[in-house]
Amino acid sequence: MGRILMKGNEAIAVAAIRGGIDAFFGYPITPQNEIPEYLSKHLLANGKAFVQAESEVAAINMVYGAAGAGARVMTSSSSPGIALKQEGISYLCGAQLPAVIVSVMRGGPGLGGIQPSQADYYQATRGGGNGDYNLIVFGPETIQETVDIMKEAFAIADQYRNPVLVLVDGLIGQMMESIDLDRPVKERNLPPKDYATTGTRNHPGRHIINSLYLDPLELENHNKKLQQKYALVKAQETRYETVDLEDADYVIVAYGTMARIVRSAMETLKKLGIKVGMIRPITIWPYPEAAFDLIKADCKGILCTEMSAGQMLDDVLIANNGRHKVAFYGRMGGMVPDPEEIVAAIKNFSDWVVK
């Protein structure tokens, strides 16, 4: 029997080990505490590094240091904790350092609450750090998908020398699911870490990890290089799933936990004779705009659903590009909608149209 039962946070930790993690730096916060708890036990027992830092700010700077030395590094936190890490995340992008960041979202703003939420979509895709940078952001739907992505995340970060953010809500962190840890992961040809500061005995001359470019032309050229990299990520790593999209009269867009609710709502809608399909972004940056080209021309409308006030809605509007009517239905603050609410929003589509 290959399947075992795991809590989401625990599965994230196990998958990080499978993905080759060398070091974890973090600071506790609900609802993601089982990640550092598990890693504290298992990393130290296997000669890897685990540090509970004095704060989130310290943790992300430890990530910067260890990533600069060539290690596979990870940190995890929840909404206000990820907010504290934003400066370090921008620096990681500027210095082109690979790292894996796990964000287990809870209700906000501020301290908010500890119930599940998706209100950090902007934080993940628009960033709170400075400068023209992007994270490669995954928004998995199940614990199995989270595990598969976590196993691959370190390699993706290494390939592009850029942080990868795995964005889940507290429900995925806290719920149990039966999973298979041994599903195969895409093989990647990874470049050597010729930037790593491993000591002058190991490489000729000094290696410097840096994001400071005082000469504006030099900084612009550095930015051009970053933008080329992001274009490559868009071309190579964009992922999404479509469900019954071809002849759908209504298309629902949802990621993460919301997609699970939408699947259940779709069953009910089909029984009512309503042709409904789903676009489920798996990467939320890069956003799968191409999926929207698959929607039929006479589609009656697109419903964007979130456990937030309408953040992904921006990307839906950009991807839709004025072609179809777009409606929005969301809950906030840790409230998780029932499938019946989505059914009602489709039935009364015109009440929820935003554009």
Q: In what order do the strands lie in the sheet with 23-26?
A: 49-52, 23-26, 73-77, 99-105, 163-169, 136-138, 283-285
Q: Which alpha helices (H) appear in the chain, and where do they start and end?
A: 8-18, 34-45, 56-68, 79-84, 86-94, 121-125, 143-160, 170-174, 216-237, 257-271, 312-320, 339-347
Does position 1 bind other proteins by CB under 8 A?
A: yes
Residues of this chain, 2-41, that bind other proteins according to CB under 8 A = 3-7, 10, 30-31
Residues 35 and 24: their CA atoms lie apart, in Å, by 10
Does position 264 bind other proteins by CB under 8 A?
A: yes
Q: How many CB atoms lie within 10 A of CB 293?
A: 9
Question: Which residue in 77, 103, 174, 283 binds other proteins (CB under 8 A)?
Answer: 174
Scanning 112-120, 230-238, 277-285, 322-330 for contacts with other proteins by CB under 8 A, the matching segment is 112-120
Does position 114 bind other proteins by CB under 8 A?
A: yes
Identify the DSSP state of 63: H
Does position 224 bind other proteins by CB under 8 A?
A: no
Least distance in Å: CB of 113 to other proteins?
6
* Residues in contact with 314: Cβ distance below 8 Å, sequence separation at least 6, in sequence order: none
Q: Which amino acid is at 130?
A: N
Are 285 and 134 within 8 A, CB to CB?
A: yes
Question: Which residue in 171, 254, 282, 346 binds other proteins (CB under 8 A)?
Answer: 171
Give the tokens for residue 117: 């939420």
User: Helices 86-94 and 56-68, interaxial angle, to 10°?
Assistant: 20
Are 284 and 164 within 8 A, CB to CB?
A: no
Does position 117 bind other proteins by CB under 8 A?
A: no
Q: What element of type H or E holds 26?
A: strand 23-26
Give the tokens for residue 67: 């990533």
Cβ distance to other proteins smaller for residue 1 or 212: 1
Does position 140 bind other proteins by CB under 8 A?
A: no
Cβ distance to other proteins smaller for residue 11 or 66: 11
Least distance in Å: CB of 213 to other proteins?
43
Least distance in Å: CB of 263 to other proteins?
7
Cβ distance to other proteins smaller for residue 10 or 148: 10
Cβ distance to other proteins smaller for residue 254 or 316: 254
Question: Which residue in 177, 237, 241, 249 binds other proteins (CB under 8 A)?
Answer: 177
Can you say how many angstroms the Cα of residue 237 is from the centroid of all Cα atoms in its chain? 13
Scanning 90-98, 110-118, 144-152, 315-323 for contacts with other proteins by CB under 8 A, the matching segment is 110-118
Cβ distance to other proteins smaller for residue 156 or 252: 252
Least distance in Å: CB of 265 to other proteins?
8
Does position 263 bind other proteins by CB under 8 A?
A: yes
Is the omega angle on the peptide bond into residue 163 within 30 degrees of 0, that is, cis?
A: no
Q: How many CB atoms lie within 10 A of CB 199?
A: 9
Least distance in Å: CB of 271 to other proteins?
14
Does position 332 bind other proteins by CB under 8 A?
A: no
What does the CA dihedral 193, 199, 201, 205 come to, rounded to 10 degrees? 80
Cβ distance to other proteins smaller for residue 233 or 276: 276
Does position 178 bind other proteins by CB under 8 A?
A: yes
Binding site for other proteins (CB under 8 A): 1, 3-7, 10, 30-31, 113-116, 170-171, 174-178, 260-261, 263-264, 334, 338-339
